[in-house]
Every structure is written in structure tokens, then in C-alpha cells.
């Protein structure tokens, strides 16, 4: 799938649904450390990773954008620093002008009021007033990979981000199947939610008493196995 197809498919999904679909399909995924939030609540984005490691200067971001494909998501490695903001309004304006799909930062931003006016998907761990007061030596592969928490991502990866955080999925996974399964899970969960609102408990829908009976007879019988057998959905 290309970036536009990913954006279209993810428009009505969520990172929890993608995570559940990955679990069902046994696709490995990596999750951004807890606390990543979109600047604008409700924002979601998806696309190929455009990695960039920050060393104190904005030129690394401009160079990344110079080689970007429309719909890429700029993933910035600022080592989770909380003593500086690594992006502000000019970088975000340039990303929007470059037709990127969003920016995901392992670090902080600034110029919050201006960023809200720009209306572009930005995900970070918060804001501080000060930009960098350093200029560190740049590594030769600074535009090839980016660290995000305890793992590394590159251009071969895909990122999904929304109000629950961000997931990174290998680009060689069957993304079309992944989106299809996530959509199926979404439909099942919405149907189950409507039934709860109409008075049918989730336990009744999922035949929970049957599950308890089967587990009593077979201690290895899992709830996920039971869900798959009845076509239910709650965990994956």
C-alpha cells in the first residue's frame, strides 16, 4: 500500500484496532513509549516513516523533507529530551508544504499556539519554550534510522498515530490484509457496543458462561480461543 492508501484505510480506524489486528495476524509491532499525544485531539495519521535524528539544528529536518515522498511521516529522534523543543512553527509549516502526513517526535515541541493554527498532525511528549542550545556532531546515517524509546525505525517501516499514541509496523507486512482485519474488528466491536446499549450484556454476547464451562473442563482453553470460535472481539 502507498501512503495515500494507508491514510484512506486508517481514516476510520485507530491504533488499538491496528494493534489487535497485528496480534491476530502475528505481525510484530513496536509501540511508542506512553505519553505521546497529538497536538489536536482526534488527529490520526499513517504513512511510511521518514526518519531524522536531531543534533540541534533544523537543517536535518529540511534535508529529510528534501528527499520525502508525499504522505511520509517525519519521525524525529530527539532522544526523549525534556530540556529543549526540537520543532516549532517553521518546521511544521515546511512539513505541511512538503505534503507530509504528520510529524511524530520522541521529544518536545514549542510554538503551540502557532502549531494549532497550522492544523497539521503533530505528536509529541509536550512543550517547552526553549529551542536547542547545542550543536552536536552529526552521524552519517542520521537520515536512515531513528530511535524511538527502546527501538529503532527506518524508511522500511510504517507508523500509525492517533490519540492513543503511535505504532510502528514493518513495511514488508501485508498492510492491505492488516487494514482489512482491523476494519473487521472495528465493525464487530461497534456492533457489540450497540448491543450492550440495547440491553444485551457483553457476557451474553460472548457466551461467557459457555466459556467458563469449557475452561472448567479444559484449563488450557483460553478466552481468545473462545472469542475466535464464536467470532467475537474484545481483546484482538
CATH code where residue 84 lies = 3.50.30.40
Using CA atoms, how far residue 26 sits from 1, 33, 47, 147, in Å, is 19, 21, 21, 23
> Which pLDDT value is given to residue 235?
53
160 burial via Cβ count (<10 Å: 0-12, 13-18, 19+): buried
- Is 138 in the same domain as 82? yes
What local confidence, expressed as pLDDT, does residue 232 receive? 62
In a domain? residue 194? no
Residue 127 shares a structural domain with residue 11: yes
Task: Answer yes or no: do 50 and 161 share one domain.
Answer: yes
Range of the domain at 222: 201-230
- Residues 218, 157 within the same domain: no
Residue 236 located in a structural domain: no
Same domain, 146 and 221: no
**Selection from 42, 44, 15 nearest residue 185 by Cα:** 15
User: Is residue 188 in some structural domain?
Assistant: no
Reported as type and span, the H/E element at residue 6 is helix 3-10
Q: Number of folded domains in the chain? A: 2
pTM across the whole model: 0.91
Q: Please indicate, yes or no, whether residues 217 and 138 belong to a single structural domain of this protein.
A: no
Identify whether 185 is part of a domain.
no
What would the 3-class secondary structure string for 79-105 be?
CCCCCCEEECHHHHHHHHHCCCCEEEE
Specify whether 162 is located in the same domain as 219: no
Whether residue 147 is found in the same domain as residue 215: no
Q: How confident is the chain (236 residues) per 10-residue block, as mean pLDDT? A: 97 97 96 97 97 97 97 98 97 98 98 97 98 94 95 97 98 96 93 92 92 94 88 58
d(CA 187, CA 78): 38
Of 46, 7, 49, 38, which is closest to residue 153 (Cα–Cα)?
Answer: 49
Amino acid at each position: 500500500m502507498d501512503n495515500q492508501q494507508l491514510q484512506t484505510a486508517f481514516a476510520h480506524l485507530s491504533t488499538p484496532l491496528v494493534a489487535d489486528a497485528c496480534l491476530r495476524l502475528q505481525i510484530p509491532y513496536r509501540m511508542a513509549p506512553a505519553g505521546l499525544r497529538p497536538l489536536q485531539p482526534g488527529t490520526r495519521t499513517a504513512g511510511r516513516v521518514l526518519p531524522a535524528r536531531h543534533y540541534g539544528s533544523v537543517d536535518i529536518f529540511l534535508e529529510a523533507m528534501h528527499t520525502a515522498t508525499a504522505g511520509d511521516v517525519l519521525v524525529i529522534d530527539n532522544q526523549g529530551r525534556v530540556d529543549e523543543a526540537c520543532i516549532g512553527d517553521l518546521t511544521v509549516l515546511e512539513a505541511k508544504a512538503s505534503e507530509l502526513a504528520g510529524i511524530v517526535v520522541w521529544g518536545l515541541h514549542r510554538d503551540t499556539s502557532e502549531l494549532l493554527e497550522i492544523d497539521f498532525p503533530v505528536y509529541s511528549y509536550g512543550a517547552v519554550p526553549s529551542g536547542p542550545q547545542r550543536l552536536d556532531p552529526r552521524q552519517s546515517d542520521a537520515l536512515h534510522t531513528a530511535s524511538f524509546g527502546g527501538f529503532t525505525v527506518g524508511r522500511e517501516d510504517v507508523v500509525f498515530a492517533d490519540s492513543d499514541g503511535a505504532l510502528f509496523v514493518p513495511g514488508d507486512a501485508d498492510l492491505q490484509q492488516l487494514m482489512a482485519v482491523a476494519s473487521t474488528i472495528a465493525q464487530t466491536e461497534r456492533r457489540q457496543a450497540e448491543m450492550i446499549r440495547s440491553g444485551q450484556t457483553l457476557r451474553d454476547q460472548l457466551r461467557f458462561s459457555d466459556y467458563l464451562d469449557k475452561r472448567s473442563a479444559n484449563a488450557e482453553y483460553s478466552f481468545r480461543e473462545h472469542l475466535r470460535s464464536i467470532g467475537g472481539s474484545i481483546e484482538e
